[in-house]
Amino acid sequence: MKPPEFSPAYFESTRTARLPDPIRLARYEKVPDLGPRLLFFSGGTALRDLSAHLIRYTHNSIHVITPFDSGGSSAQLRNAFHMPAVGDIRNRLMALADQGIHGNQEIFALYSYRLPKNAGRDSLVEEISRMARGKHRLVARIPDPMRKLIRNHLFSFLDSMPESFDLRGASIGNLILAAGYLNNRRLLDPVIYLFSMLVRVRGTVRPVVNKHRHLVAELDSGELRVGQHQFTGKQTEPISEEIRRVYLASNKKAPEPVEVQIRSKMRELIRSADLICYPMGSFYSSLVANLLPSGVGDAICGVRCPKIFVPNTYPDPELRGLDPTRQTEILLSYLKADDPEGIQNPQVLAAVLVDRKNGQYTAPVDGRKLNEMQVRVIDYRLVSQQSRPAVDAERLAQCLLSLT
């Protein structure tokens, strides 16, 4: 069957894209080191499977991660050390790691390991201590020099850990990254770079900002939910009303909006993209959270490449039933926040990628209204029999790669 064709005039190109494009995909798969720079604004686990498929075609994807997670193990680290969340960063680093490298499977097992939730503090401290001494089975089988590096970071964490720190359910990978952060003058980039080199991460992973900030959701009633875990519907009951806006605050007890600027390095990273994707996942806490720092929208506006939104194909508790058309309007409002009058819609968002037939959207995609917003609709088979109701990661990877 001949693949569908799509003429993306708004990509500032006269090329007609075939979805998927077998010739383009074969070229990328042959030399993934020279593959395109697909940039994703995300967080959480929604892109874990996609990342594993991407590294088959490109080793140059860029993952801008939200560091504002406030639940689980990340909350303990943030409260103890006043640091950005590292859980989503760890997750993406390991998803992009070359699993064929000797020792990476063992590192993945260690980084994914969580301490028991029902053990006493002394027992948990002793388990970490055995890891630091190299006596724990998960550490003993990791080859040097990675084993020595991990042991040093675990010793460092034990030295820095407050007496009140709750280790129950803690992610070992998060503890190791936290120790690296503390050892590198409270900077994440050096420890991310080091571990990326050691496990051969096939892409670039960076937090959107290196700041300790809190994500706040203001509901329609005016109620404030401070911390993303308070409104995602995962650790608490789902919200019962729509979110009016989300913003960043520096103080949880007095959550007033604060401005946070991206660094010039992040601006340059965004402007190096060959395609920008606003992917599926938790809409506010994973996607919009990355767009809140000042300068993100302006940097996106300054790069000439396809910019595509992929709505969830099944309900997201954060959205209270909002359909993809309304989601697009909300997304555009945050993308244009740096200059609402000066930035035009197509400069920050060119298309919405949907699966009209198989996606479980709350309402039909309104192509006419989206066209009025100068945003095109790409209708493509995103949901497979195996992935239903979620997006098929392989199909999405091939579609995005074909549009570069």
What pLDDT score does 44 carry?
Answer: 75
Measured distance CA(16)–CA(11) in Å, rounded? 10
Between 21-30, 42-51, 300-309, 359-368, the lowest mean confidence (pLDDT) is in: 42-51
Mean pLDDT, the chain, integer: 93
C-alpha dist (Å) from residue 71 to 68, 78, 79, 303:
9, 10, 11, 34
Measured distance CA(254)–CA(139) in Å, rounded? 42
Q: Which has more confidence, 159 or 236?
A: 159
Residue 212: pLDDT band with limits 50, 70, 90 = very high
Say whether pLDDT at 13 is over 50: no
Q: pLDDT tens digit string along 68-125?
A: 998 877 889 999 999 999 999 999 999 999 988 888 899 999 999 999 999 999 999 9
Average pLDDT over residues 127-142: 97
Percent above pLDDT 90 for the chain:
87
Both structure tokens of 184: 């590198």
- Provide the b/e sequence for 246-258 (b: ≥16 CB within 10 Å): bbbbeeeeebeee
What pLDDT score does 4 carry?
Answer: 47
What pLDDT score does 66 carry?
Answer: 95
Measured distance CA(199)–CA(98) in Å, rounded? 7
Residues 6+ apart with CB under 8 A from 293: 208, 209, 248, 260, 261, 262
Q: Which residue, among 10, 26, 36, has the nearest Cα to 401 in the 3D structure?
A: 36
Between 98-107, 241-250, 329-338, the lowest mean confidence (pLDDT) is in: 98-107
